[in-house]
Amino acid sequence: MNILYVEDNKINAMVMDKMLSKNDAKVIIAENASKALNMVKEVSLDLILVDINLGLNQMDGCELLKHFKKLDMLKNIPMYAVTAYAMPGDSQRFIQLGFDKYFSKPVNFEKLLIAISKVKKSNVS
């Protein structure tokens, strides 16, 4: 399973890579939106995880999602928000923007792995 993780924080990216790699996922990390937009054209993906805050003067995860949604090659690829935004209503707001799921940081890896296992099953059937 190929997962693109768009995350500007190297430690967060490393932790996610380590956790998902243990569970038979290949994690491709893009540290900004521009790199992510290039990577989706080069690699076949099963899932995209997007941080919302991608650094000062950078495109944020919500804007990146809009660009992803315009690409036919990503039409059937689930996209999850993975963010430190964890105020009441944030989950609903990100789902309304078009993310398929929302995970607040620190990520509950058990819940994330359950969601990923459903993506794996849908790719097999």
Q: What is the pLDDT of residues 58-106, one digit of tens each?
A: 999 999 999 999 999 999 999 999 999 999 999 999 999 999 999 999 9
CATH superfamily for domain 2-124: Response regulator (3.40.50.2300)
Look-up of token digits 């964890």: 86
Task: Compute how many other C-beta atoms are within 10 angstroms of the C-beta atom of residue 58.
Answer: 15
Nearest to 23 by CA among 125, 114, 124, 123: 114
Is residue 15 pLDDT above 80, yes or no? yes
Q: Can you give the pLDDT at residue 121?
A: 81
Q: Which two tokens stand for residue 25?
A: 């996922």
Q: Can you give the pLDDT at residue 125?
A: 58
Helix or strand run (H / E) with residue 44? none
Q: Distance (Å, rounded) from C-alpha 18 to C-alpha 11? A: 11
Strand pairing report for 101-104 and 26-30:
unpaired
Name the average pLDDT for the chain. Answer: 95
Q: What's the pLDDT band for 122 if we cut at 50, 70, 90?
A: confident
Q: Can you give the pLDDT at residue 43?
A: 92
- Which DSSP letter does residue 73 get? G
